[in-house]
Amino acid sequence: MSPRPVPYRPRRPRRVVVIGNGMVGARFAEEVRRLDPGGDRVRLTVVGEEPGPCNRVLLPGVLSGALRPEEVGMPRPEGPGTAVLGAHAAAVDRSGRRVLLADGRALGYDRLVLATGARPVVPPVAGLRAPDGGPGPGAAVLRGPDDCRRIARLARPGDPVAVLGGGPLGLETARALAVRGHPVTVVEAAHRIMPHRLDRAGGRLLAELLERRGVRVLSGRACTAWVPGRGLDLDDGTRVPARAVVVAVGVRASARLAEEAGIAVRGGVLVDDALATSDPLVHAIGDCAEHPGGGAGLVGPGWEQAAVLAGRLTGRTPDAAYRGARTVTRLKADGIEMVSVGEVGDGPGAQTAGDPPEEVTVSDPAGGRYARLLLRAGRVSGAVVVGLPGAAAAVTAAFDADAPVPPDRLGLLLGADLASADAGGGSGDGRAPVCRCNGVSRDRIEQAWLEGARDLAGMARATRATTGCGGCAGDVGALLDRWSKDTPEPARG
């Protein structure tokens, strides 16, 4: 048994205020209540303007029609010692350890958790951005169920839609809109979609797979104007006809509260392995946080941060630490299996940082399959996989485990375990069991045949073969057939 940590015994429950009731804030609340169901350790107040936490990862599913908007909600924070305030947090008074609400109330805290998330960026393109920084007429972002409703209002099935941004969210959105019956065009300013996560060949193949599913992909094109209801003007003078445009070019951390309170902020609120900000009583998790090990913008790391911080603040695992995320980008799209992990580079033979890694590439453009594996010290340092479901899972697992990969690299990519093929019993061995359940060898069956067992029933009586799972009945029958046809007696040997 591992030694038990000294239990955290609060004299009174710790007062924890969470600002933000989104995917990560709500998950934090859920984890706290899982670890402290009675509310003896932590009294939680969640401050959020959101109507309810939403799992935005599932929004493309709402767009495609697979899910209804109300089905992407997350469990609301609840349980003893949990309060949810639908209020706006106006400021943090660190010296007074208080959160000031817009309605004039103040909430005292022992620990403050910022889970304010991020806001979609709408680029300053003519017609695209409203004065408040949000999407203008005919344009939308995809951050909550309301955005799905807005898109549905802007365009009916059959109407062309443009998607600005060829990252994972843009591509999942495009695919979902195509499923819904929209002609869709993705516009990506970089020279290929997912420029940071795919190499050249992988990007080309993914674009082709999308095109086969009704998504037109234009990369290396910047947009110069959005003409509401008409289309997106591009820098080469062409126009992409579109009734609506969905903007998915990235997000910016919502760090204003922290910044105004004098907490260190760069792109997001800076945090360490304890998820503490420059003020040790203030924590930040999820998209608003910036950890040196990365992870911002991805839900997996955000949820891991929620679990780590809940363990620390409830005292259940006071030493839990978040040490950064391993970069895994996995497209969520049935039928297009794409994953990219770690370093990617530009393609086969391309220069990467430092010494060149060991490289294994499989390319089958006609079959829609491509995989490139980069290895350093026998471990996966990066990979791009498109169209190979088994390899996508296996490569991710090998990358996450950071363990030496099998000697048979190609087997890993093809999902065929070539190494194990040699491990089976030789088929020419007369002692190998034909009937495993009863351990009856071919030699024994042959002997019973010689002694007069000429059909399945007789063979079962003589040897017990076929009486277990019955799976060998075909094999035994084939032997009987062959012997009775070929020769009066089976050849011995």
Partner 1 sequence: MTTTHCPYCALQCAMHVEPSPGGGWRTRPADFPVNRGGLCRKGWTAAGLLTSPDRITAPLMRASRDAPLLPTDWDTALDRVAGRLAALRGEYGPDAVAVFGSGGLTNEKAYLLGKFARLALRTSRIDYNGRFCMSSAAAASSRAFGADRGLPFPVTDLAGARTVLLAGANPAETMPPLMGHLAAPALVVVDPRRTATAEAALRGGGLHLAPRPGTDAALARGMLHAARELGLLDTAYIERRTRGFGAAWAQAAAWWPERAERATGVPAAHIRRAVRTLGRAPGAYVLTGRGTEQHSTGTGTAAAWIDLALALGLPGRRGSGFGCLTGQGNGQGGREHGQKADQLPGYRRIDDERDRAHVASVWGVAAADLPGPGPSAFELLDALGTEGGPRALLVFGSNPAVSAPDAGRIRSRLAAADLVVVADFVPSETAMAADVVLPVAQWAEEEGTVTNLEGRVLRRRAALPPPPEVRTDLEVIGALAARLGQPAERFPTDPDLVLEELRAASEGGTADYSGVGADRLEAGEALYWPVPRGGAPTPRPFLDRFAHPDGRARFAAAPAGTPAEAPDDRYPLTATTGRIMGHYQSGAQTRRIGELAEAEPEAFAEVHPDTARAYGLSAGDRVRVVSRRGSAAVRLRPTGACPRGTVFLPFHFPDGQSANNLTNPALDPVSRMPEFKVAAVRLEPADGPTGGDP
Binding site for partner 1 (CB under 8 A): 1-2, 34, 55, 57-58, 61, 66-67, 71-75, 300, 303, 328, 330-332, 334-335, 337, 389-390, 392-394, 396-397, 400-401, 403-404, 406-407, 417, 419-424, 436-439, 464, 466-471
Q: Which is nearer to partner 1, 264 or 393 (CB)?
A: 393
* Shortest CB 226 distance to partner 1, Å: 31
Q: DSSP secondary structure string, 354-395?
A: SSPPEEEEEEETTTTEEEEEEEETTEEEEEEEES-HHHHHHH
Q: Which is nearer to partner 1, 75 or 356 (CB)?
A: 75
* Shortest CB 318 distance to partner 1, Å: 18
Angle (nearest 5°) at CA 342 between 338 and 348 = 75
Cα 281 from Cα 110, distance rounded (Å): 7
Q: Which is nearer to partner 1, 420 or 484 (CB)?
A: 420
- 16 CA to centre of own chain: 29
Cα 187 from Cα 170, distance rounded (Å): 9
Q: Which is nearer to partner 1, 241 or 389 (CB)?
A: 389
Q: Which among 104, 103, 24 has a CA at the least distance from the CA of 307?
A: 24
* Shortest CB 444 distance to partner 1, Å: 13
* Shortest CB 439 distance to partner 1, Å: 5
Q: Which is nearer to partner 1, 2 or 487 (CB)?
A: 2
HSE on the CB side for 52, CA within 13 Å? 11
* Shortest CB 110 distance to partner 1, Å: 27
Q: Which is nearer to partner 1, 126 or 397 (CB)?
A: 397
Q: Sort 421 into a burial class: Cβ within 10 Å, 0-12 / 13-18 / 19+.
A: exposed
Q: Which is nearer to partner 1, 189 or 440 (CB)?
A: 440
Sign of CA dihedral 198, 200, 202, 206: positive
CA distances from 21 to 80, 87, 297, 324 (A): 17, 11, 16, 23
* Shortest CB 437 distance to partner 1, Å: 4
Structure tokens at 176: 């979902």
* Shortest CB 338 distance to partner 1, Å: 10
Structure tokens at 248: 């998915």
Q: Which is nearer to partner 1, 185 or 314 (CB)?
A: 314
- Cβ neighbours around 362 below 10 Å, total: 16
Q: Which among 144, 159, 138 has a CA at the least distance from the CA of 246?
A: 138
Give the DSSP H or E segment for 269.
strand 269-270
* Shortest CB 332 distance to partner 1, Å: 5
